[in-house]
Amino acid sequence: MAEAYGYEALRKEMLAMVPEQLDKREGSVIDTTVSPVAYEIARQLWMIGELFGLLFADTSQGEWLDRVVYDFGLERQRATQAVRKIRVFDQEGGPMQLRLGDRFAKEGLVFSVIDGDEQPGSYLVRCQQAGTEGNEQEGVLLPVDHLVGLGYATLEAEPVYPAQPEETDDQLRERFYRHVRRAAFGGNIAQYEQQALSIEGIGRVKVFSAPLLGPGQVGLMVGDEAGKPVSGEMIEKVQEFFGEEGKGVAPIGHRVTVKTPALHEIAVQVSLQLKDGVQLKEVQNGLRQAAQVFFDQEGFEESMVYRAKLQASLLNAEPRVLDIPSLTLNGAEGNLELDKSFDGYEIPKLSNITFVLV
């Protein structure tokens, strides 16, 4: 259809309507008059075609997709701000007292004190910049405000409430499809998934229902946006959100237990056959990065770490590797199975990787 209403097709159709006794050869007055009109009509038709694509969820994008899903009660999840924990010491090495709003900085990010913690000298801070950059920093902080008597302040490694990036078009579209195709009703699995994922800081959830846990029991295994374990504070937040005996969003008669996965550390040993003249030190950094990416992208619900997939990832990452004769996961040649029960739910983590030339 697009070709039928393109510039050339429109121009020929318009010229065909002109009587044959008139000069309509290329360069004639009629041809010169018709050509820009055909071009403008073709441009308008192309724009109309693009507009139609923006009206449907499968082809829409950006603010147009926001408007499509808004009609169904959904909104794009905006980037959030990380909440972190800091430790502050005075010049004598003792815990130091801060005021709400005192600020610290690291690598261009600013953290503002929002609450105290039970431990003296420990405070909760919120990153003023939205996005996952606020999850990544750790170590010594510099004061933005003048704090009399300050010795030093440190930012703990694990976020209390991890920040989430702004939802992409593909992520929003996937959530929209789940919303309209799976009816959330009366405490079914779809409803628990939707409610858990609506909580800031939760990006993955696995629901364990009564047939596995017993009558009235519901288990929620939650992870962050990357599918990694969340903090104890986040588990408490989710637990409070669902509540018990009708005091939260969980239906009366449902007892909800919230957990986060355990990390199953995996040591990888790889034997390599390299091209002639290539040294191990030239390729090992790239292979380590490829292995880390592979484990970071393993799905939250994947029950197996497949040896062949890891081999393929390493071979694709480094063309100077001719072959990988053997690869072991925790000393075994085969695939590595993960516990996916509610009591022992595991996700894989690369602990170390070693290479041996053959």
Same domain assignment for residues 217 and 248: yes
Using an 8 Å Cβ cutoff, are 218 and 212 in contact?
A: no
Average pLDDT, the chain: 89
Q: What is the pLDDT of residue 183?
A: 67
C-alpha distances in Å from residue 309, one per residue of 53, 280, 293, 334, 356:
36, 22, 12, 12, 19
Q: What is the pLDDT of residue 246?
A: 67
Residue 4 in domain: no
pLDDT tens digits, one per residue of 67-108:
999 999 889 989 999 999 999 999 988 999 999 999 999 999
Same domain assignment for residues 251 and 267: no
Residue 227 in domain: yes
Count other C-beta atoms under 10 Å from residue 292's C-beta.
Answer: 13
Single out the residue in 208, 236, 259 at which a domain terminates. 259
DSSP type of residue 300: T
Same domain assignment for residues 143 and 199: no
Q: Which residues, other chains included, contact 130 with Cβ-Cβ below 8 Å and sequence gap of 6+? A: 78, 79, 80, 81, 163
| Whole-number Å distance between alpha carbons of 296 and 290 | 10
Single out the residue in 227, 259, 291 at which a domain terminates. 259
Residue 349 in domain: yes
Residue 231 in domain: yes
Q: What is the pLDDT of residue 286?
A: 92
Nearest by Cα to 56 from 76, 72, 44:
72
Helix, strand or coil, per DSSP, at residue 69: helix
Same domain assignment for residues 273 and 351: yes
Tokens of residue 336, six digits: 């590595």
Same domain assignment for residues 110 and 143: yes
Q: What is the pLDDT of residue 225?
A: 82
pLDDT tens digits, one per residue of 124-155:
999 999 998 999 889 999 999 989 899 999 99
Residue 245 has pLDDT above 70, yes or no: no
Give me the helix-helix angle, 29-54 and 7-16, nearest 10°: 130
Residue with the bigger pLDDT between 316 and 184: it is 316
Number of domains in the chain: 3
pLDDT band with cut points at 50, 70 and 90 for residue 123? very high
Provide, rounded to the nearest whole percent, the portion of the chain with pLDDT above 70.
Answer: 98
pLDDT tens digits, one per residue of 257-288:
999 999 999 999 999 999 988 899 899 899 99
Single out the residue in 243, 259, 275 at which a domain terminates. 259
Same domain assignment for residues 250 and 306: no
Using an 8 Å Cβ cutoff, are 314 and 290 in contact?
A: yes
Using an 8 Å Cβ cutoff, are 115 and 99 in contact?
A: no
Same domain assignment for residues 111 and 139: yes
Same domain assignment for residues 346 and 278: yes
Alpha helices in 214-306 (DSSP H): 232-242, 280-296
Residue 35 in domain: no
Sign of CA dihedral 106, 110, 116, 117: negative
pLDDT band with cut points at 50, 70 and 90 for residue 214? confident
Q: What is the pLDDT of residue 227?
A: 87
Give me the helix-helix angle, 169-181 and 62-70, nearest 10°: 20
Residue 169 in domain: no
H or E stretch including 115?
strand 109-116
Residue 212 has pLDDT above 80, yes or no: no
Vertex 236, ends 225 and 229: CA angle to 5°? 35
Range of the domain at 131: 83-155
Same domain assignment for residues 127 and 199: no
pLDDT tens digits, one per residue of 319-338:
999 999 999 999 998 899 99
Residue 230 has pLDDT above 60, yes or no: yes
| Whole-number Å distance between alpha carbons of 51 and 6 | 17
pLDDT tens digits, one per residue of 13-28:
889 899 988 888 888 9
Residue 135 in domain: yes
Q: What is the pLDDT of residue 66?
A: 95
Using an 8 Å Cβ cutoff, are 113 and 127 in contact?
A: no
Q: Which residues, other chains included, contact 34 with Cβ-Cβ below 8 Å and sequence gap of 6+? A: 11, 14, 15, 18, 24
